[in-house]
Amino acid sequence: MANPRIKRLTKEILDLSNKPLQDISISQDEDDVMKWTCHIKAAPESPYKGGTFKFTMNFPAEYPFKAPSVKFLTKIYHPGINDQGEICIGILRDDWKPSISASTILATIQEKVNNPSPDDPYEPEIAAELKNNKTKFLSVAKEWTKKYAT
């Protein structure tokens, strides 16, 4: 009998290939279905427009009872993503539920990337800049996008 988590992830990747999320691409590691490499193309109205951001999703042995880990490999000047590439979203931490799908996780990450908020930041200085000097924040975000994500 197939491992339930592998069966679920196989179904989720199939669902995502049949009904892809706009501006998100996903590939599974050939040797390990528990490791995904993902790319998000920033929305045109985003501070990161023109950029494509690469990140990994690693599903633990306890999935779906434990959330996957997400790590951005592309540097991004964002209050909710730290220098180590970790993203601050509730559904990957305290708000995790086994019913949350990979599609929901990806859509939430996409929303977070495209709409940075100074609330609940991993990077308090960047959050303060977004809140108090948005022009400077937008300038640095654009610069980093050009440097790292194009």
Cβ pair 129, 141 in contact under 8 A: no
Question: What does the pLDDT read at residue 127?
Answer: 96
> Which one of the listed residues 42, 88, 102, 113 is annotated catalytic?
88
13-66 pLDDT, tens digit each: 999 999 999 999 999 888 888 999 999 999 999 999 999 999 999 999 999 999
92-147 pLDDT, tens digit each: 988 999 999 999 999 999 999 999 999 878 999 999 999 999 999 999 999 999 99
Per-position DSSP letters for 70-81, written without gaps between them: EEE-S---BTTB
73-93 pLDDT, tens digit each: 999 999 999 999 999 999 998
β-bridge partners, 25: 39
Question: What does the pLDDT read at residue 53?
Answer: 98
First to last CA, the chain: 44
Cβ pair 103, 143 in contact under 8 A: no
Clarify whether 88 is annotated catalytic: yes
Sketch the domain layout of the chain as residue ranges: 4-149
Cβ pair 64, 106 in contact under 8 A: no
pTM value is 0.93
Question: What does the pLDDT read at residue 54?
Answer: 98
Q: Say if residue 1's pLDDT is above 60.
A: no
Per-position DSSP letters for 135-149, written without gaps between them: HHHHHHHHHHHHHH-
**Fold classification of 4-149 (topology level):** Ubiquitin Conjugating Enzyme (3.10.110)
